[in-house]
Amino acid sequence: MKHRGSAFSMIAVVLLFVVAASAQTYTPLYTYPETSAGDTGISWPSLLSQGRDGNLYSTIRTNGAYLTGGYNAGSVYKITTSGDYTLFYSFCAEGGSCLLTGAFPQGGVALGFDGNLWGTTTNDGKDSFGTVFKVTPTGTLTSVYSFADGKDYGAPIYPVLQGQDGNMYGVSEVIYAGQYGSFFKLTTKGAITAHDFDLTDGSTPNLPTQGTDLNFYGTTQGGGDATCECGVVYKATAGGTITVLHKFTGYVSSTDYDGGRPIGLLVQGDDGDFYGTTYQGGEYGEGTVFKISSTGAYTLLHSFTAGQTSNPNDGRNPIAGLTLGTDGNFYGVTAYGGSQAGGAIYEITPAGTEKVLYSFCTISCYDGLAPTTPMVLHTDGKFYGNTAGNSLGGSVFYSLDVGFEPLIDLVTWTGKVGGTVEILGQGFTGTTGVSFNGTAAKFVNVSDTYMTATVPAGATTGTVTVTTFTSTLKSNHSFLVTPQVKSFTPTSGIVGASVSIAGVSLTQATKVTIGGKAATFKVNSDTNVTATVPAGAKTGAAISITTAGGTGSFGKFVVIPEVTSFTPTSGAVGTSVTVTGNSFTAATKVTFGGVAATSYKVIKDTQVDALVPTGAVTGPIAVTTAGGTGTSTTSFTVTP
């Protein structure tokens, strides 16, 4: 801990003793100096990210070595888990010009697959509306993209996050009336596509998180409900299609008190649902914790109650979102409230049971106050975070130890057999083994805090384990092994036909789809599944297999129509005949003894009605579709 004299040391000792008595240890580790703008240093959202070296990285908006407009233009810094701070990049360093680098980075940085730290600036760049940048841990910065008004808006508050497809995803903020922000995808080479929010689907978006279904889930601070405009929860595909899952309505009545104005990021729980906070709303108007499913089922879990007689020491007004712990519970901070009114750290279960772990004070306190940025769970098992200030003005970097064991963090958490997985942790020197849900994998120790591993054949979705000569480290989240469909035989068949499907990572199959319909199936091995062509299957769709790790698809299966019966079995020209079978949808031809009927209608996939045509002769009835022709095994008799 960085000491500020004997008085600070004494207070820190008291703080450690008091909190440790409740089995949580809060430790202030570093006090940031005030910046040239006169602020306390750390501003929302200022995300902390663990780097490959085990240090934490972020940005400060208004400090650094170079001035623009009378203020320092911002910096990227790293800080160790013991509180050793290093500023290693100052914006506008190129002769004081901000055209190349941008200026005023507010959101922090995120670790990319390339080992660089990726972030954004809210101002400047060549088009004056902010930039996306990447910077090496040694301080070499590359500007990847410059935002421009009218094209993609700009002024991004958050950093970008790297999706599991390798692209960068982020949000830009509102600047002028009529502009409500955007969700964008950016290639690592700088090509961008964006979805613009239109107020009905939200405004001022917060950075989303990527779910295990590979879609993105986030919130907006405004927009949505026309009466309240209290924000929304949205789902975004990688292609930018936005679906509103929930519109917040704030406080409506004493029995209807939804949340309002979500500011923090969502986090996915072990149950697959997403958990978040709202700054306002709830039963007492002081903010909430909620959960929502990927399909939009919304549950208000907790209304903050600071100052209420029922729970006067609770926090209030959470600006930051939640962080998932290894115990399956969530940990967060509130900007205000707590027993000393300076904010609080709290724990909440997925069922909504909340308790305050630590309260910040506001007078003569060196431990920090007004935490507005989310905590990060380091692989050493401790939470780390920043406050907006302390009683002397400076922001505080702190740790919170709730007793978690050290763990590993998967930078890449989904992939195919043979793919490379990046792993963060500590104590990797001397590693003796890495396994994916129990299946041994090849690995490379790059450093004591970073390694790579290859997804092994036979791996299944589950926990990744690193074994060293002193300990066993487990991932906080499952690695998703993506199934692969390589081939199938036969490539065509009627409903009820058996299809042999070859692939990789098929052991955990939960669903097989043929022709767009779910099929009955049997897993024969990790590389083979046998399935039955289901009723209603259509020609042209890929065969897909879904496991706990995702869905793999291949090819286009051809569904051949089948004629099983017809009634009546005989009749004259003009007689109406009901043909029964399978796969008749989109039939293009019906014949009687080889003579095409001029009048027929597909009633449903299993029925076609046709009139016996002029010139028809006794013979089989056949139905033709894009999948081929199905012919009856018996003949229709044409009578005079």
pLDDT for 129 equals 86
- The Cα 173–Cα 120 span in angstroms is 12
> Binning pLDDT at 50, 70 and 90, where does residue 252 land?
confident
Which residues neighbour 21 within 8 Å (Cβ) at sequence distance 6 or greater?
none
Length of the chain: 640
> Binning pLDDT at 50, 70 and 90, where does residue 537 land?
very high
Q: What is the mean pLDDT of residues 325-339?
A: 96
Q: What is the mean pLDDT of residues 365-379?
A: 92
pLDDT for 391 equals 63
- The Cα 120–Cα 142 span in angstroms is 11
Residue type at 146 in one-letter notation? S
- The Cα 336–Cα 340 span in angstroms is 9
Cα-based angle 101, 103, 108 (whole degrees, multiple of 5): 95
Helix (H) or strand (E) holding 113, with range, is none
The answer on pLDDT for 1 being more than 70 is no
Residues 563, 600: contact at Cβ < 8 Å? no
Measure the N-to-C terminal CA separation of the chain; round to a whole number of Å: 104
Residues 559, 494: contact at Cβ < 8 Å? yes
pTM for the model: 0.90
Domains and CATH numbers, the chain: 40-196 (2.120.10.30), 409-479 (2.60.40.10), 483-559 (2.60.40.10), 562-638 (2.60.40.10)
CA distances from 253 to 152, 225, 257, 258, 310 (A): 39, 16, 6, 9, 19
> Binning pLDDT at 50, 70 and 90, where does residue 161 land?
very high
Q: Which two tokens stand for residue 374?
A: 């989310």
- The Cα 577–Cα 117 span in angstroms is 70
* Dihedral-angle region of residue 181 (phi above 0 means left; psi in -120 to 50 means alpha; beta otherwise): left
- The Cα 196–Cα 241 span in angstroms is 10
Residues 437, 460: contact at Cβ < 8 Å? yes
Q: Which two tokens stand for residue 125?
A: 């760049």
pLDDT for 97 equals 75
- The Cα 33–Cα 50 span in angstroms is 22
- Helix, strand or coil for residue 18? helix
- The Cα 531–Cα 528 span in angstroms is 10
> Binning pLDDT at 50, 70 and 90, where does residue 478 land?
very high
- pLDDT tens for 592-605 read 999 999 999 999 99
Residue 250 gets which letter from DSSP?
-
The answer on pLDDT for 474 being more than 90 is yes
**Residue for token pair 């904010």:** 343
Cis amide bond preceding 534, omega within 30: no
CA distances from 615 to 177, 315, 505, 592, 601 (A): 72, 86, 56, 9, 20
Q: Which two tokens stand for residue 433?
A: 């083994």
DSSP assignment of 597-627 equals: PS-EEEEETTEEEEEPPTT--SEEEEEEETT
- pLDDT tens for 406-449 read 999 999 999 999 999 999 999 999 899 999 999 999 999 999 99
E strand map for 402-541: 409-410, 414-415, 420-424, 431-436, 439-441, 443-445, 450-454, 464-468, 472-474, 480-481, 484-489, 492-493, 498-504, 511-514, 517-519, 521-525, 528-532
> Binning pLDDT at 50, 70 and 90, where does residue 617 land?
very high
> Binning pLDDT at 50, 70 and 90, where does residue 13 land?
very low
DSSP assignment of 344-377 equals: EEEEE-TT--EEEEEE--SSS-SS-B---S--EE
- pLDDT tens for 221-231 read 999 988 899 99
CA distances from 353 to 273, 276, 327, 349, 442 (A): 17, 15, 14, 5, 42
Q: Which two tokens stand for residue 311?
A: 């729970």
Q: What is the mean pLDDT of residues 123-142?
A: 90
CA torsion sign for 416, 417, 422, 425 is positive
- pLDDT tens for 87-117 read 999 998 766 678 888 999 999 999 999 999 9
Neighbours of 405 (CB within 10 A): 11
Which residues neighbour 297 within 8 Å (Cβ) at sequence distance 6 or greater?
none
